[in-house]
Structure 1
Amino acid sequence: MKIVCLGAGPAGLYFSILAKLSNRNHDVTVIERNAAGVTFGWGVVFWEELLDDLYRNDPVSARALAEAAARWDTQEVHIHGRRTTHVGGYGFSLGRERLLDILTRRASSLGIELRFQQEVEDLSAFADADLIVASDGANSRARQLQGDAFQTQIELGRNKYIWLGTHKVFDTFTFAFEQTPAGWIWFHAYRFNEDTSTCIIECPPETWKGLGFDTLDSDATLRRLEAIFKRQLDGQQLINQTRGRCQAQWLHFRRITNERWRHGKLVLMGDAAHTTHFSIGSGTKLAMQDAIGLASKLREHADLPTALAAYEEQRRLDILPLQTAARRSTEWFENVPHHVEQLGPRFAYALLNRRSSPTRWHYLLHLANQDEMLRSALRWLHFARGKVRSRRRQCSVAA
């Protein structure tokens, strides 16, 4: 089969790897408009479930990703520069640049052709391909070239956000909220390597305009944000540009859905097919699981239309709970000025459970987590469980 993946993000690269592993005779090409090593964004987060999936499908790249990832084992909520509450849970974070580098090297080692700095203006250039995978992001050019074939719907979030980096190392997943004369503004931040953290700053449009961000240039915007979050950043600067990439801009989140994910031999994957709000940190997970899903259906069905239909049906079902959770999370953050009136522990509890309807037992556990000794015990338990799970993955690969 001749396969062309448009877009060298996590979805396109990982699918190309799985397609080649399933059949070394597949002719697989990945085409990317940007130069090699250039990407937008800082760090990404993921959890044990994704690592389990990756080890089952390609232990080589899974091991490299696991070794490169940073681990955080607690969350903190800060209000007015003071840590008020600890929130349980743990996960992993990894620089997006490092993630793509690992996947690119793996794809290249398998003989996959990688073409960078190549714009796609007309899909007729791939007339000889059996399958074209549109993995070129939320603004998918491949999707747009098909007119309204996918019946794409785009819904803008209310809040403004900007995705930045900083050399302030946040060892915990940190939420920080500050009240300014113009209203509330907040960030969530986490480290993804030894000296750099992601810092996504968000606020209602009224706060954004009241603070003058509608008129400030990029440098002035960073300086104002650094002044607002001076206590949390410990004097470190915010960064909005690295390795020649364009500067970060204030955006509205774009929730993208498609009535159809396939049109002829063209199929959508990752953000080209669906987006989920950044506050639940599942974009990379869903993109790579899309890749796993499509590769699996291609192995199960010899007939391409049947495989693509099965892929779409299965992945729609799989992502529905996360899409629901993402919508709830979006709505919660769009109402932060209302929620933040609650006392510290209750506010943090509402933040932690913004995607679900927890029981009173969960709240009692949350209160217990504020005790340092109990919190240390829970962190040790999470660490031990993580070690057991990691050994189990390694043993399954060895077997």
Structure 2
Amino acid sequence: MKIRIVGGGPAGLFYAYLMKRDDPAHDIVVYERDPQDATYGWGVVFSDVALSFVKDIAPELYDSITENQEVFDEMAVVHQNVLVPLAHNTFHRTSRIDLLKALHKHCLSVGVDIQFNQKFDDITAFADADLVVAADGANSAIRTRYAEHFQPELDVRPNYLAWYGTTQLFDALSLIFRQCNDGLLIAHTYRYSRTLSTFLVECDPETFHKAGLDTLSEAESLAYCEKVFAPDLAGHKLLSNKSQWFRYTIVKNKNWFYKNIVLIGDALRTGHPSVGSGTRLAMQDAIALFEAYKACGANVPAMLEDFVRRRKPSADALQRAAIKSTEWYENLGPKLSLDPISFAYDYVTRSGRVSHDDVRQRDPDLAAKYEALHPDWADKAARRDS
């Protein structure tokens, strides 16, 4: 098959690798808009479940991704200046650039042609391709050009976010809730290398405008966040890498393909940083599209129908959980008066996919402390889990 892939992120690269490894005769080119050595972004995090999908189908890539990685079994919520540890949350972490380098290496090893500094929003140049894969991100130019066919739904969420890094090493994947005179700011932070942590700051619109963050420069915003999170940074600085404030867009598409053009990754559907599902969703899309090829061969219409059938149920379920998580962060006002244990418990069960029994199995200490604080816990759990 002649396959043209627009977008050199995890979705496009992983799909290219799987297809070319399976059959070297495929003519596959990946077009990436950024330079090869671009270092936008900080770290990415994978749960054990997320990486198991990669290990099952491409153990050699799994080994490259996890090489020299430390695996952490720590998570924590900081509320009212109290740290509440959350047990049995195993995460693999790596820098985004190292993940991309691993994918580049394996793609090149099987003969995938990767062309950098190539931006496409018009794919008429690919008229002779059997399959065009739009893996060009949440702001997909290809999806926009063919919007009448894909029928996207773009839900811009109200909260503001800014991606920073820091040399403060947060071994526990930490969610820090800091109230100040202007309102509430939240840090999502975790160590992803021996020297750096990701530090994503989130705040609601009222806090954003009251603090004047809508008028501050990038450097001034960084300094403001350093001041709010000074107890947590412990003298370390925040680091910027084009760290501008933005609002997250949850992307859905009524139609996943049009003719021989198929959307995957963030171009197709986004999760949310609060559940760390974006890279997982992207790589699972690549696996499903590859498996659809294995089931249907070069029959592109049948392949794309099969891709939707095998991928849509689980992808939609994960996105629904991500949306519930997003809404939890957007409606924290009534919860801020909760004691730290009850607040952490509410966080753990926020998506609706974790029952009280699940909490008991995963984190019996948290469950026991919650039950001690709430004599009517059984009724509360029944209402929550119903």
Relative to the length of structure 2, the TM-score reads 0.91
Deviates more, 1:9-18 or 1:52-61: 52-61
Q: What whole-Å deviation, never above 9, does each CA across 1:260-285 have from its counterpart, x for those lacking one?
A: 01111110000000001111111000
Report what 2:262 is aligned to. Answer: 267
Closer, same or farther: CA 295–224 of 1 in aligned 2, 3 Å: same
Shift of 1:295: 0.5
Pairing of 1:351-366 with structure 2 (within 5 A): 351-356=347-352, 358-362=354-358, 366=363
Report what 1:244 is aligned to. Answer: none
- Does the 8 Å contact 1:150/1:263 carry over to 2? yes
* 2:272 aligned residue (274, 277, 288): 277
Shift of 1:87: 4.5
**Over 6 Å off, 4+ runs:** none
- Provide the secondary structure at the position in 2 that maps to 1:253: strand
Report what 2:318 is aligned to. Answer: 322
Residues 1:368 and 2:365 aligned together = yes
Residues 1:333 and 2:362 aligned together = no
- Does the 8 Å contact 1:270/1:287 carry over to 2? yes
Closer, same or farther: CA 39–271 of 1 in aligned 2, 3 Å: farther
In 2, the alpha carbon distance for the partners of 1:56 and 1:201 equals 34
5+ long unaligned stretches in structure 2: 369-386
In 2, the alpha carbon distance for the partners of 1:122 and 1:331 equals 35
One-letter code aligned to 1:249 = Q
Report what 1:90 is aligned to. Answer: 90
One-letter code aligned to 1:332 = W
Report what 1:395 is aligned to. Answer: none
Shift of 1:37: 2.4
One-letter code aligned to 2:30 = V
Report what 1:256 is aligned to. Answer: 251
Shift of 1:79: 2.5
Pairing of 1:200-279 with structure 2 (within 5 A): 200-241=200-241, 247-279=242-274
In 2, the alpha carbon distance for the partners of 1:50 and 1:361 equals 23
5+ long unaligned stretches in structure 1: 242-246, 372-399
Pairing of 1:279-318 with structure 2 (within 5 A): 279-302=274-297, 303-318=299-314
- Provide the secondary structure at the position in 1 that maps to 2:209: helix
In 2, the alpha carbon distance for the partners of 1:259 and 1:124 equals 23
Report what 1:180 is aligned to. Answer: 180
- Provide the secondary structure at the position in 1 that maps to 2:315: helix
Shift of 1:80: 4.5
In 2, the alpha carbon distance for the partners of 1:363 and 1:290 equals 29
Relative to the length of structure 1, the TM-score reads 0.88
Closer, same or farther: CA 109–360 of 1 in aligned 2, 3 Å: closer
In 1, the alpha carbon distance for the partners of 2:121 and 2:182 equals 44
Deviates more, 1:3-12 or 1:312-321: 312-321
Residues 1:344 and 2:340 aligned together = yes
- Provide the secondary structure at the position in 1 that maps to 2:344: helix
Report what 1:116 is aligned to. Answer: 116
- Does the 8 Å contact 2:359/2:366 carry over to 1? no
One-letter code aligned to 1:318 = S
The alignment of Structure 1 onto Structure 2 pairs a total of residues equal to: 367
- Provide the secondary structure at the position in 1 that maps to 2:175: strand
Pairing of 1:125-136 with structure 2 (within 5 A): 125-136=125-136
Q: What whole-Å deviation, never above 9, does each CA across 1:65-98 have from its counterpart, x for those lacking one?
A: 1224332212111134442444542211111111
- Does the 8 Å contact 2:359/2:367 carry over to 1? no
Pairing of 1:57-206 with structure 2 (within 5 A): 57-206=57-206
Sequence identity percentage: 34
Deviates more, 1:360-369 or 1:150-159: 360-369
- Provide the secondary structure at the position in 2 that maps to 1:89: coil
- Provide the secondary structure at the position in 2 that maps to 1:61: helix
Closer, same or farther: CA 173–32 of 1 in aligned 2, 3 Å: same
- Does the 8 Å contact 2:79/2:343 carry over to 1? no
- Does the 8 Å contact 1:88/1:369 carry over to 2? no
- Does the 8 Å contact 1:84/1:344 carry over to 2? yes
Closer, same or farther: CA 309–359 of 1 in aligned 2, 3 Å: closer
- Does the 8 Å contact 1:81/1:229 carry over to 2? no
- Does the 8 Å contact 2:159/2:247 carry over to 1? yes
Report what 2:374 is aligned to. Answer: none
One-letter code aligned to 2:116 = F
In 2, the alpha carbon distance for the partners of 1:345 and 1:238 equals 29
In 1, the alpha carbon distance for the partners of 2:355 and 2:261 equals 45
- Provide the secondary structure at the position in 2 that maps to 1:168: coil
Deviates more, 1:54-63 or 1:297-306: 54-63
Closer, same or farther: CA 289–360 of 1 in aligned 2, 3 Å: closer
- Does the 8 Å contact 1:87/1:348 carry over to 2? no
